[in-house]
Amino acid sequence: MIYHIGEVNIYMERFVRFMRQNKTRLEGEHYYVFYGNKTPKDLDHCKYVKNLWALLKLFLFSKQEDRFVLHSYMYPWLYLSCFLTPWNSKKILWVIWGGDLYFYNEEKNFKYKCYEFLRRHTINRFRYVMGVEGDFILAQKYYKIRGQHLNGLYPMEFINTSTNESVLKAGDTINILVGNSADPSNNHIEIFYLLEKFKNDNIKLYVPLSYGGTPDYINEVDRIGTELFGEKYISMKEFMEINRYNEFLSTVHVLVCNHERQQALGNIFALLYLGKKVYIKEGITTVDFFNSYGLKFSFVHDIDKFSLEEFIYLSLEDKRKNYEILRYIYSSDHLISVWSNIFQQIKSI
């Protein structure tokens, strides 16, 4: 049995849906174990754990042929379960989600130190680690991991459309999406000052603030955004249902992500697929990942030297290239091949 352990969220629900739809083409038998604040919609062949014992006993009573896929590693009960059953380390694949790798940068209070102690004494023993090359290198640096690096991708559900070849006309409002959440790692205010030079142009700034971040941070983002852009600044504090959010993304012309680490890949891929221009911060692990596939994107620091026309411009050739690349790498056949290879490798020991 391969146990998949993760938090209930749209990405895991999409992954489980992909696994079930293609179960006859995928290696092994799979069981899904969820934790978090909401229960899965479909509990068929799933378990929702509500306490430490419910999770720990999966590790304590696992069979020799069982394997564990940790979809992110950010859960204290999971730290304890792995720490208390070190003999299971060779059965574990840790899938890096980003925040679980950069946990070492978090505030070092007593609770953090306890969590980080458990993490450091478990991560370095995991047999397999999945993530982009840059994140794997960082994991080696900060957690001294000795596990084998595997490459993989989560399923994406793009809007059903052909490549967006539309051209902005004179008088059209330019819709700019800033970041993906209220988390301070979005560095919203830095982006606002970069974009301030466009404030007298026909633009709108959409800033998702429906989750992450503290009330004080959100208020500060809203204060500065409104101060700089007035009614052109739109604070998005209500959570959107996925179909409605996809419709909103189709109206965006430019995405600016100023994260210090790999984040917001869902938004980035969706907008690249739709032929939109995307800016990310130079030096993060996402850059090498995108370059390895040949995707076309821009850097946040270049905004300072761009005119509005240059800021929004993406050639038709680059739009088509991004569309074709993403259509291939997120095709069912490619994803099935990728995950089948992963399951074969982790079951081979």
Which structure tokens are listed for 92? 């574990």
DSSP classification of residue 95: E
Strand, helix or coil for residue 169: coil
Alpha-carbon distance of 276 to 279, in angstroms, equals 10
pLDDT at 160 (0 to 100): 62
For the cut 80, the answer to whether the pLDDT of residue 304 exceeds it is yes
CATH 3.40.50.2000, the chain: domain bounds: 174-314
pLDDT at 262 (0 to 100): 63
**182, 211 in Cβ contact below 8 A?**
yes
**272, 322 in Cβ contact below 8 A?**
yes
> CATH assignment of 2-155+331-348?
3.40.50
pLDDT digits (tens, 9 = 90+) for 7-63: 988 889 889 999 999 999 998 899 999 987 776 666 566 888 888 999 999 999 999
Strand, helix or coil for residue 177: strand
For the cut 50, the answer to whether the pLDDT of residue 163 exceeds it is no
pLDDT at 318 (0 to 100): 95
Regarding pTM above 0.85, the answer is: no
Rg over alpha carbons for the chain, rounded to the nearest Å, is 21
Q: Does domain 174-314 have CATH number 3.40.50.2000?
A: yes
pLDDT digits (tens, 9 = 90+) for 233-276: 999 988 777 778 888 888 999 999 987 766 667 788 889 999 99
212 versus 346: the higher-pLDDT residue is 346
Handedness of CA 115, 116, 119, 121 (dihedral sign): negative
What residues contact residue 237 under an 8 Å CB cut-off, 6+ apart? 209, 210, 218
pLDDT digits (tens, 9 = 90+) for 170-180: 668 999 999 88
131 versus 256: the higher-pLDDT residue is 256
For the cut 90, the answer to whether the pLDDT of residue 314 exceeds it is yes
